[in-house]
Structure 1
Amino acid sequence: MSTDYPSVGVASGLPRHSFPLRVLHWLIAVLLVFALIGGLTLGTLGHERLVELVGMDMANMAYIAHKTLGITLLGLMVLRLLVRLLQGTPPYAVDLSGFQRFMSRSVHFLLYVLVIAMPIVGWLATAAAGFPINFFTWELPPLIAEDPALAEQLFQAHMIVALCIIALLVLHIGAGLRHKRRGDWVMHRISLSR
């Protein structure tokens, strides 16, 4: 494996993802953090405790905001997947070991799958619980009939998927920081800066 990293002077010529894909990456990253924090807060407190703390109107706004974030993430992830499939993936500027390539591909694949699955499971859980599926001020179709027992299972699955995403993000961010510290330009492929 080569450790001859490209110099700063050639950074602008290194292979990178397209600008639209880089923007989508960082936009999704920010929204995902807010969705995870909000979802874990809502799931931990529960509706009744949240209403006690902030009142009914604020609690309802929190749930609407969380659902809106989820639907937005779903749309952005589908768009990102399409862009990535159409444009492909640029090569790395440095050689990675077989293990690094395996981990990189596995974590990216699982993040795509789970970040797309999480809002879908949340949508189904919300519908099964008999609650509206809000996207800003619009109400989206429920997709499935009300079923309280199924709703409970789907909300549990929604939480498990969220926890799996958090674990994958720890790996993903940790690997990114390691590459940044090594100065091997792997992070340059997805950074917004030149």
Structure 2
Amino acid sequence: MGIKVGITGGIGSGKSYISRIFKAMGVPFYDADKEAKQLMNHDPDIHKGLVNAFGTEVYQADGVLDRKWLAEQVFNNNDKLEILNSIVHPLVIRHGEMWALRQTAAYSLKEAALLIESGSYKSLDCLILVSAPEELRIERVMHRDAVSRAEVQGRIDKQMPESEKEKYADFIVHNDGVSPLLPQILHIHQQILQREWSK
């Protein structure tokens, strides 16, 4: 197992795009949000926890999670959102840690929107934050999800401020549409490899 690196960023920051560049460079990549969706459908402990907390309506007749229904339950309800996170996050963190143990490259990359908020950053060796100006993030999400400015702003307001996330970051990628991305990514790549050699 090599160095465990996390990559995170607020909605519309472009963290998934940056992650794909690392992946294209041959870095093993774990998409925590994608894996969480899979686990919510297939992990028996999560299934049991969600049914106990939210009722049988949380799953459709075919056994697939009713994402829309669940989203409506936790939207604007922090208590229910905390319950949801307490059921899902620990198991996703454990799943990601087991995946990292199997990797043989110099380092592996774990992408998650809530790496800091969930506390899973504590199991990582270093953290990359993808940063972008708020106005640009709003425009990106409006275009990507075909939603209103107010809806995107509401999502941003619910997230940890970028300035707070910077306190946890070892590296920052400035995805502002102006600064070239590849030189930043290659610099971080080299810095992480040097950490591996110096271990």
Task: Give the TM-score normalised by the residue count of structure 1.
Answer: 0.27
- Could you say which structure has the greater relative contact order, defined with CA pairs below 8 angstroms and 6 or more residues apart? 2
Task: Give the TM-score normalised by the residue count of structure 2.
Answer: 0.27
Greater helix percent: which structure? 1
